[in-house]
């Protein structure tokens, strides 16, 4: 509550972060798996003396450079921009907790940029061995970058012993660190194959695509079978409540997981049938469809991972609205309006009660609920009277599952209820 509220209409801040993050994650995983794809494909071309595959990997490396370094870097900056605006409290916490982790990751990213540019611009200018060394340097730097980022992202769901020790290493090597890293590495390899299938249809002549498509399919098929295994491992390393949410505690989460599984099965079938056995039928359209389905798998996985963390942004440490749990009792005693630095109303009276309620809602609820947008609050209180709404606010964690305890005073709960109740009055007037 130390920062002003940045409201995002219709979709809300959470979805804005999600849209930017999913696009970035889809590219960043390719940046890792695709780096390995480049090196091993180049080795294969030299080993088999195959000019078609060598020419393909040269052209593919240009696409790789532009997508991962240019577009990937832009979406990475966009993530920092959006999370800083939408949830500055959590962003500040992650920077302070893992400042040296971020510093190391940025060093790896610098190495990635330098290596991939050298790799692309030194085709036919360096001997094969030196060129491959540059490719390996890129891949190792990209993989290590993922290793660092994974520790921070997995910490947000399972901080583990860090809650008691505040140790960097306890937070970094948290209970889901290894399982989530396995999921990300396998996903990165799958993405490398999916991107390889797509670029093959655009940069290789139709009569010469067979070997390239079949080769790219081998990056997808076996690892699509491994992905459910490592995902189950990840599931079993989760705390009990996130497990419960994933299995149906919040219906849209389990539905999203099911959709992701179905889409994954479709990708496997399409790649098996057209990418491996009937390559002559693998067209640009099919390549685009597989790419969109791959993005859908990424969307499903990231949405489930983010949603099972409710009601926290950092599990057992900070709620989605930025309230640090250790500060709950202090804020409860003085109220959320007095604790917030960026609201004018500190004392509630009859004249300002509705405006105070609106401010209280923004501070405590708008991180998840939008008026007239995603997760709209109005249908949740329709036909309820003012007293019932206030009672529910005071007992949020019991009336509405996976929501934070209300840290406001009785007067603030009544003010928020009064502001919300006016939507019911407006509905009655319209009817």
| In a shared domain, residues 216 and 98 | yes
| Of 20-24, 54-58, 153-157, 400-404, the least confident | 400-404
Alpha carbon distance 147, 238 (integer Å)? 19
3-state class (DSSP) for residue 366: coil
Q: What band does 250 get if pLDDT is binned at 50, 70 and 90?
A: confident
Residue at 294 is within a domain = yes
Q: Which residues 6+ apart lie within 8 Å of 422 measured at CB?
A: 354
- Please state the domain count of the chain: 2
Tell me: do 305 and 340 sit in the same domain. Answer: no
Domain boundary among 319, 342, 362: 319
Q: Let me know whether 104 and 247 are in one domain.
A: yes
Looking at the fold, whether 225 and 174 belong to one and the same domain comes out as: yes
In a domain, 3, yes or no: no
* 148 occurs within a structural domain: yes
Final residue belonging to a domain, choices 274, 294, 319 = 319
Q: Report yes or no on 6 lying in a domain.
A: no
Assigned domain for 2 exists: no
Helix (H, G, I), strand (E, B) or coil at 374: coil
Please indicate, yes or no, if residue 7 is contained in any of the structural domains.
no
Average pLDDT over residues 208-232: 97
Instruction: Specify the CATH number for the domain of residue 385.
Output: 1.10.760.10
What's the mean pLDDT in 275-299? 96
d(CA 204, CA 294): 22
Do 304 and 423 belong to one domain? no
Same domain, 347 and 312: no
Q: Are residues 214 and 363 in the same domain?
A: no
Residue 399 pLDDT grade (very low, low, confident, very high; cuts 50, 70, 90): confident
Both 307 and 395 in one domain: the answer is no
Asked if residue 244 belongs to a domain, the reply is yes
Whole-number mean pLDDT of the chain? 94
| Helix ranges (DSSP H) in 204-283 | 210-236, 240-244, 251-270
Per the listing, tokens 């990424």 go with 298
The residue from 266, 293, 319 where one domain ends is 319
333 lies in which domain range?
325-430
């Amino acid at each position: 509550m130390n920062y002003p509220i940045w409201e995002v209409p219709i979709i809300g801040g959470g979805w804005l972060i999600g849209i930017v993050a999913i696009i970035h994650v889809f590219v960043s995983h390719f940046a890792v798996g695709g780096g390995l794809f480049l090196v091993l494909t180049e080795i294969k071309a030299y080993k088999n003396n195959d000019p078609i595959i060598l020419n393909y990997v040269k052209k593919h490396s240009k696409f790789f450079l532009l997508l991962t370094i240019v577009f990937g870097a832009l979406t990475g900056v966009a993530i920092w921009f959006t999370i800083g605006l939408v949830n500055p409290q959590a962003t500040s916490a992650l920077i302070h907790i893992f400042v040296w982790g971020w510093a190391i990751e940025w060093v790896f990213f610098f190495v990635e940029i330098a290596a991939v540019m050298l790799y692309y611009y030194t085709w036919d200018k360096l001997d094969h061995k030196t060129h491959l060394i540059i490719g390996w340097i890129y891949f190792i730097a990209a993989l290590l970058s993922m290793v660092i980022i994974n520790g921070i992202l997995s910490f947000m769901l399972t901080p583990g012993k860090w809650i008691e020790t505040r140790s960097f290493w306890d937070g970094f090597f948290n209970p889901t660190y290894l399982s989530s890293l396995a999921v990300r590495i396998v996903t990165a390899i799958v993405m490398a194959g999916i991107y390889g299938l797509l670029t093959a249809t655009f940069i290789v002549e139709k009569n010469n695509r067979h070997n390239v498509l079949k080769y790219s399919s081998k990056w997808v098929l076996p690892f699509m079978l491994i992905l459910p295994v490592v995902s189950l491992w990840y599931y079993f390393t989760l705390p009990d409540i996130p497990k419960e949410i994933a299995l149906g505690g919040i219906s849209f989460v389990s539905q999203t997981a099911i959709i992701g599984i179905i889409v994954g099965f479709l990708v496997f079938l399409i790649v098996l049938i057209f990418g491996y056995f009937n390559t002559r039928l693998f067209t640009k359209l099919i390549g685009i469809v597989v790419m969109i389905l791959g993005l859908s798998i990424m969307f499903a996985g990231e949405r489930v991972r983010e949603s099972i963390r409710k009601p926290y942004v950092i599990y057992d440490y900070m709620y989605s609205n930025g309230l640090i749990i250790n500060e709950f009792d202090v804020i409860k005693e003085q109220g959320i309006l007095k604790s917030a630095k960026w609201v004018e109303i500190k004392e509630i009276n009859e004249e300002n009660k509705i405006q105070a309620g609106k401010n209280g809602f923004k501070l405590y609820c708008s991180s998840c609920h939008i008026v007239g947008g995603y997760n709209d609050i109005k249908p949740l209180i329709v036909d309820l009277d003012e007293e019932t709404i206030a009672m529910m606010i005071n007992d949020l964690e019991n009336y509405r599952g996976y929501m934070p305890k209300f840290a406001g005073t009785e007067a603030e709960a009544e003010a928020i209820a009064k502001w919300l109740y006016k939507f019911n009055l407006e509905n009655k007037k319209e009817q």
